[in-house]
Chains A and B, each alone.
Chain A
Amino acid sequence: MIQFHAYKMLQTADGELPLDVSLTFEKGQFIAIYGNSGVGKTTILRILAGLTEAEKVDINVGDDIWDDSLKRFHLPVQKRSIGFVFQDFALFPNLTVKENLEFALSKNDSTQIVSELIELMELESLQNSKPQNLSGGQKQRVALARAIVRKPEILLLDEPLSALDDEMRFKLQDYILKTHEKYQLTTLMISHSIAEIFKLSDKVIVIDKGKISKQGTPNEVFAETKISSKFQVTGEIISITKSDIIYVVQVCSGNNIIKVVATEEEIIDYKIGQKVLVASKAFNPVIQILL
């Protein structure tokens, strides 16, 4: 079991914000951290990794103590069994892909894990390239592989997929899931994508203004929405056009634009740019297979 408690005053653009978070999770769980930007999500990961100090920190990982603010004990980053994937990858530009992975080895480690990870992440053809010649998705795979070389107990992923296009995201989600299971990691991942959280995590923690506002399974946290309709999209109104006696409202959600019919009485309340939930019964939509 991993117990985490931290208190830290954050300096944000809107002034001071106290981060006060207590978390308990089991080994082997996949935890997603969800919330708006600037509410302290990254700081939580960094405190857990020992990269950021806090006024009060208590971290127990199994029987090991990583932080004990009462005894003023702080286990250095290097001694913590963690793998950290940074938002901007932080690959070493002077080393090739393979050397980046080998750098993570300790003195007497066998290099077998490196070849294993290169194979698992399908990096064979890239192993002698320098990071600057890799695409975003490739860098991400290298960063993930490098974080796992030491077979850490806890893998920390700081919004690892936010910069990638959808196709790459889906592939990398599979890589993350594969490594999480294969190396029996406890994984904490910051994510903004609800779909991603549903796909990957056992538990989701919603952070709002430095506090946990909600936690539970993705189903408990996200699925229990306000309306029973199962076909739901959130998006922004981009246009409202009159057509005959009704109005067509265009809503942009991610890369998709959908159209919804509304009555004259309803559109009075709608504004361009407004965030809306579009819902329909699951019984209506039809599915067509794309080539």
Chain B
Amino acid sequence: MNILTGTISKIQSHEGISLIKVRSSNVIFSSIVLDTPETAHYLQVEREVRIIFKETEVIISKDLKANISIQNQLSCRIESIKKGVILSQINLMHEDQIIKSIITSNACEQLDLKENDSVMALIKTNEVSLSAHD
């Protein structure tokens, strides 16, 4: 699990579903949740929340200006790589936060990922969970 903390900056709700923008250091995360400020008390602008997403949902791109639909894009530096037979874990450094990604070893080789490479970590909006920060 990757857990970052951030502050809610914007909430857009419609028919029970909300798009939440959360600022974490200098990046704005997007998260989509089946809740509204009426059903979840912590969904308030300026509230501190935790941003949670699974390692296996972190996509890595070497193209630093990719023109794709994924909203959450973090520029990172590869800190270390742990290679397995099928899967590999890439530990990324975004500012001073560690973000982990698990991708297939094939993909890792295809992209020729090495330590200290600059890459983009991409996370789909619907893969980001929020949790009240307490």
Bound-state CA distance A225–B39 (Å) is: 11
Bound-state CA distance A284–B124 (Å) is: 12
Restricting to A209-253, which residues have a CB under 8 Å from any CB of B? 219, 223-224, 226-230, 244-246
Contacting pair A228 B1 (CB below 8 A): no
Chain A residue nearest to B124 (CB atoms) is A283
Contacting pair A245 B39 (CB below 8 A): no
Contacting pair B100 A263 (CB below 8 A): yes
Residue with the highest number of chain A CB atoms closer than 10 Å, among B34, B82, B130: B34
User: Please, what's the 1-or-0 string for B35-51, where 1 marks a CB less than 8 Å from any CB in chain A?
Assistant: 10001110000000000
Bound-state CA distance A230–B54 (Å) is: 15
A168 contacts chain B at the CB level, 8 A cutoff:
no
A263 cross-chain contacts in B, Cβ below 8 A: 1, 55, 89, 100, 102
Bound-state CA distance A224–B130 (Å) is: 12
Interface size of A by Cβ–Cβ distance < 8 Å?
20
Contacting pair B85 A226 (CB below 8 A): no
B34 cross-chain contacts in A, Cβ below 8 A: 228, 230, 282
Restricting to A68-115, which residues have a CB under 8 Å from any CB of B? none
Bound-state CA distance A223–B35 (Å) is: 10
Contacting pair B129 A281 (CB below 8 A): yes
B60 contacts chain A at the CB level, 8 A cutoff:
no
B79 contacts chain A at the CB level, 8 A cutoff:
no
Bound-state CA distance A245–B88 (Å) is: 7
Which residues of B are interface residues toward A (Cβ below 8 A)?
Answer: 1, 31-35, 39-41, 52, 54-56, 82-89, 100, 102, 126-132
Which residues of A are interface residues toward B (Cβ below 8 A)?
Answer: 219, 223-224, 226-230, 244-246, 261, 263, 265-266, 279, 281-284
